[in-house]
Amino acid sequence: MSGRFNNRILLIVLLLLAGIFVITRFTGIKKSGRTLNTDIVQIDTANLTGVHLVQNSAAGGEELVFTKEGTEWKVSNGQQTVPVDEAALRSAFAELLNLKTDQLVARTEDKWSGFHVNDSLGTRLTVKEGKKTTLDLVIGRFDYKPVQSPYGGYGQNRGTGITYVRNYHEDEVYAVQGFLAMTFNRDFNSWRDQTVTRLVLSRLSRIVFDYPADSGFIAQKTGEGWMVGGILADSAAMDSYLNSVSRKRSASFMDNPEMASPPDYRVTFEGDNMQPLEVEAFIRPDDATILHSSINPESWFEVPREGLFSDLFKNAGFFLSGDRQEPVSSRQ
C-alpha cells in the first residue's frame, strides 16, 4: 500500500516538474524576446515592390512613395513621379539589412517622445513585398557617440552613430548602430536620379561640340592621341577634361521648364559599345542655364555658368593650348 502511495506521490512530483519546465520555457522565450529583439528587420530586397516613407515633422512631414516598375524604381511625392537614384536606394536597403541592435532602451509608450519614435517626431518606414507588409518601422532620434582613443592622433577618434527605432505596432524602443535616421530623413530631390553624365572613358572615341555660329568642333581619338580640328590636342588638358566629365551629377532640378527652342549648346560623347550620350544646354532669356542629358531624360537642371556648364562645354583652345582656365563663352 505504501509502495503505491509513494509511486503516486512520485508521479505527481514529476508532473509538477514537467509543468514548471513548460511554463518556464515558454515564458522565458517570451521574456527574452521582449528584452532584445535582434531581428528588427527581416526583408528580402530581391522581392521588394514598394516603400512608403513619411518624414518627421521637422522635415515637413513629406510623404514619399517608392515603387518598382519592372527593374526600375520610381519615387513620387504626390505631385511628381520620377526615376530614383538607385545607388542611394541600394545603400539605404543595405543599411537596413545591416542593422545591429545595441540595446533595449524603453518598454512603454510614455517614453516614445524622448526617443522621437512617436507619430509626430518619428519617420515611418513601410516596406512591401507584393501585397505583404514586411517592415513597419518608426525611425527616431539620432545620436553621435565619439570614441576617444587613448593614443590620440589623426583619424583615431572615429565615432559611431546610434538611431532609436520602434516597430510601429510594438511598444519597445531599441537603439541600433548606424546612421539610419540620416539615411532616410532626406527630401524628395535627394532621392531623385541626379545623373548628368556617366561614361566609361576607355570606350570613348569621338566628342562632338555643337556651338552657336559654327564655332563647334570635333575631338577624335586616334592612334597618336586625341585630335581637335586635325591638330594633336594637349594630352594633359584632354585627360583633365575627360576625368572631369566622366561622372557628373546635379541636385538643382528644374521641373517643367518648357524649352521650346533648340539647345544653344550640345556635347555628344560617342564610342564603342555605348549609346551616344548627349548633354544639351539652353540659355534662357532671363540668362538662366538649363541642362538636359539623354542618360536621364526625365530631368532638367538649372546650373551656374561656373561649374557644371563650364566643365562640360570648352572652347577648342582649351584642348590645344592646355589653358585649363578657358571655358566656352555662354554667349557666342
The per-residue pLDDT for 157 is 53
131 lies in which domain range?
45-191
Higher pLDDT, 77 or 25: 77
Alpha carbon of 184 to those of 26, 39, 193, 222, 247: distances in Å? 37, 20, 16, 47, 24
Claim to verify: residue 98 and residue 227 sit in the same structural domain: no
Claim to verify: residue 175 and residue 79 sit in the same structural domain: yes
Residues in CB range of 17: below 8 A, 6 or more apart: none
Alpha carbon of 83 to those of 54, 90, 178, 249: distances in Å? 19, 14, 27, 14
Is 16 inside a domain boundary?
no
Claim to verify: residue 175 and residue 312 sit in the same structural domain: no
Claim to verify: residue 166 and residue 281 sit in the same structural domain: no
The number of folded domains in the chain is: 2
- For the purposes of burial, counting CB atoms within 10 Å of the CB of 176, is it exposed (0-12), middle (13-18) or buried (19 or more)? buried
Q: Using the 8-state DSSP alphabet, how is residue 79 labeled?
A: S
Lowest mean pLDDT, pick from 74-78, 114-118, 123-127, 257-261: 257-261
Claim to verify: residue 213 and residue 305 sit in the same structural domain: yes
Is 13 inside a domain boundary?
no
Task: Tell me the C-alpha distance between 82 and 193, whole Å.
Answer: 8
**Are 327 and 314 spatial neighbours (Cβ–Cβ below 8 Å)?**
yes
Is 134 inside a domain boundary?
yes
Is 328 inside a domain boundary?
no
Is 277 inside a domain boundary?
yes
Is 296 inside a domain boundary?
yes
CATH no. for residue 211?
A: 3.30.1490
Is 5 inside a domain boundary?
no
Chain-wide mean pLDDT for the chain? 84
Claim to verify: residue 159 and residue 267 sit in the same structural domain: no
Claim to verify: residue 50 and residue 178 sit in the same structural domain: yes
Claim to verify: residue 187 and residue 221 sit in the same structural domain: no
The per-residue pLDDT for 29 is 33
Is 314 inside a domain boundary?
yes
Residue 37: which pLDDT band, with cuts at 50, 70 and 90?
low
